[in-house]
Amino acid sequence: MHLKAGEYCGLCGISGFSGDSVALVAEGLLALQHRGQEAAGVLTCSDGKMKLHKRKGTVSEAMSNIPSSFSTGRNEAVMGHVRYGTYGGGGVENAQPLMVSMAGFQIGIAHNGTLTNARLLREELHRQGAIFMTNTDTEVVLHLMSRNLEQTGFNIREALEIALGRLQGAYCFLLMTPDGLYAVRDPLGFRPLNLGRFEEGGWIIASETLAFDVCGAEYLREISAGEILYIPHDTFDPESERFSSGANLFRNRTGLAQCIFEHVYFARPGSRVFGDSVYTTRLAMGRQLAREYPAECDVVAPVPDSGMFAAMGFARELGLPFDMCFTRNHYVGRTFIDPASANRATMVMRKLQPIPEAVKGKKLCVVEDSIVRGTTSRARIRALREAGATEVHMRVSCPPHKFGCYFGIDFPEPSKLIARNYSIEEIAAQLELDSLGYLSKEGMLSCVRAHDPCDYCTACFDGEYPVEPPEYSAEYNGYKCHI
């Protein structure tokens, strides 16, 4: 089993809502579908009894055959998950939420992030006799809790806190017990998690605030880094406490390590992430990019969809025309997060096709959110030239990717990152560009407002990992993580 960044997923949970919370969670998951298309599932709790439904595929596919009994009667809480996973494989057994019986208690869990010491924890638990039903790093948490239950007098919250102290890496959890719903965010805050409230009563927790909008809820705040938020089924009054994680090796870091790539690419523009509007941040990145690397061109064109708002900011800053030079097939998934890498080359042209009338005879500046491997960019640039573009320049709204991510983003091995192996001039030549410019790290960080720029993880650009990264080991045929 080869450990690399994965488990880039989306979470949505509702507690204390008097209406059909299953339907609302499904709507929330649809809003988060961009965070994972491999599998989806929901877990309900009614009168202390839990029911689980999960399937491979998109939310629509997974929820199309959900039993009507899931929405019958009132559920105290419902939580759901959309999955994109490279750690553990794509079988339905690895889909989430996971539900287990633990010392007579039913417990469910859903996870966004990557536990970088999962392999070593699994080996330790195997030696102690643990039997794993999945290959996911998430199941490790349940086994750690189970080991702690007896010594805590079967106090689930205390068992959870002890388990959290063993974890290293990035994680947001939703945890359901017969007594309540827990939301947990790791002490460095790698992944986003937010709290909202329904006007008619009840609470919602989601990876992105866009889920609140589609569910008719009001955004309240972020779940803080290092926070356990507990909503008991009997009162539905949230209780908050801090926890510490002894296994996270902070490498002299005193702030947070929020993933800046949420703003660059992953999150949807209608969301607030880490307190900032994704829309506003991407516009600002485009404006800053124009200040750093302007282009002499006839028209500025985005690579839809994630490059859209950076391109708008770029064009506005320079006073250049903005036009759509690609048409997108919305029935094709995002190529970046497609688990079947063998299909990537085919999906590139299925997804975006040039518009000859918008391209022919023009000098184009194409604004892209990122260049990772370079294969998709090369195919698109060639297509633009074949459609009649006289020049193609490219501007990228983040710095060059030179390092792997081990905290929840599926970047390939560093050796496959084009910027790791070539200079910017060489990349431009390989991609058949007339010019290429990247946004600087300082310029990118200047575009966030709600947190200090030092509170962002930029390791994929500069190699400054906030947590000790894993090392390759021939013995494991993969990455052996530190503890």
For residue range 404-413, list pLDDT tens digits in order.
888 887 775 7
The question of whether 9 is a catalytic residue gets the answer: yes
Determine the average pLDDT of the residues in 70-85: 88
Q: Which range, of 338-342, 351-355, 463-467, averages the lowest pLDDT? A: 338-342
* Rounded (5°) CA angle 310-316-317: 90
- The label of the residue with tokens 């250049």 reads 320
Q: Which CATH number is correct for 10-248, 1.20.1050.10, 3.60.20.10, 3.90.550.10, 3.30.70.120?
A: 3.60.20.10
Per-residue pLDDT band for 91 (boundaries 50, 70, 90) equals: low
Query: Which residue(s) pair with 182 in the sheet?
Result: 175, 230
Per-residue pLDDT band for 470 (boundaries 50, 70, 90) equals: low
Contact between residue 344 and residue 372 where contact means Cβ atoms under 8 Å apart: no
Q: Which range, of 66-80, 92-106, 324-338, averages the lowest pLDDT? A: 324-338
Determine the average pLDDT of the residues in 169-177: 95
The Cα 384–Cα 348 span in angstroms is 13
The Cα 460–Cα 448 span in angstroms is 18
User: Does the pLDDT at position 340 exceed 90?
Assistant: no
Cβ atoms < 10 Å from Cβ of 106: 18
Reference 417, options 381, 458, 374, 380; nearest CA is 374
Please tell me the pTM assigned to this model. 0.89
Q: Do domains 10-248 and 263-462 have the same CATH topology?
A: no
What's residue 212's pLDDT? Answer: 98
The Cα 146–Cα 103 span in angstroms is 8
For the chain, give the percent of residues with pLDDT over 70: 87
The Cα 51–Cα 76 span in angstroms is 12
For residue range 26-71, list pLDDT tens digits in order.
999 999 999 999 999 999 999 989 999 999 999 999 999 899 888 8
Residue 189's identity, in one-letter code, is: G
The Cα 23–Cα 17 span in angstroms is 11
Per-residue pLDDT band for 247 (boundaries 50, 70, 90) equals: low
User: Does the pLDDT at position 252 exceed 60?
Assistant: no
For residue range 295-335, list pLDDT tens digits in order.
999 999 999 888 999 999 999 999 999 999 999 876 665 44
What's residue 472's pLDDT? Answer: 46
End-to-end C-alpha distance for the chain, whole angstroms? 19
What's residue 407's pLDDT? Answer: 87
Q: What share of the chain is helix, strand, coil (3-state, %, to 5)?
A: 30, 25, 45
- The Cα-based distances of 112 to 24, 31, 102, 285, 471 in angstroms read 20, 16, 22, 26, 22
The Cα 113–Cα 86 span in angstroms is 11
For residue range 218-231, list pLDDT tens digits in order.
999 999 999 999 99
Contact between residue 107 and residue 460 where contact means Cβ atoms under 8 Å apart: no
The Cα 205–Cα 195 span in angstroms is 5
User: Does the pLDDT at position 25 exceed 50?
Assistant: yes
Fold topology of 263-462: Rossmann fold (3.40.50)
Could you give phi then psi for residue 414, rounded to 5 degrees?
Answer: -55, -35
What's residue 85's pLDDT? Answer: 58
The Cα 81–Cα 209 span in angstroms is 15
What DSSP line would sit under 195-261, residue for residue? EEE-TTS-EEEESSTHHHHHHT-EEEEEPPTTEEEEEETTT---EEEE---TT---TT--S--EETH
Per-residue pLDDT band for 4 (boundaries 50, 70, 90) equals: very low
Cβ atoms < 10 Å from Cβ of 118: 24
Per-residue pLDDT band for 240 (boundaries 50, 70, 90) equals: very high
Helices (H), 32-170: 59-63, 118-127, 138-149, 156-164
Q: Identify whether 97 is preceded by a cis peptide bond (ω within 30 of 0).
A: yes
Residue 93's identity, in one-letter code, is: E
Query: Which residue(s) pair with 435 in the sheet?
Result: 393
Determine the 3-state secondary structure of 287 from DSSP. Answer: helix
State the catalytic residue, choosing from 9, 45, 259, 481: 9
Determine the average pLDDT of the residues in 228-248: 88
Q: With 0-12 CB in 10 A as exposed, 13-18 as middle and 19+ as buried, what is 148?
A: buried
The Cα 242–Cα 204 span in angstroms is 20
The Cα 392–Cα 378 span in angstroms is 11
Determine the 3-state secondary structure of 111 from DSSP. Answer: strand
**Would you list the domain boundaries of the chain?**
10-248, 263-462
Could you give phi then psi for residue 13, rounded to 5 degrees?
Answer: -140, 145
Q: With 0-12 CB in 10 A as exposed, 13-18 as middle and 19+ as buried, what is 96?
A: buried
For the chain, give the mean pLDDT.
88
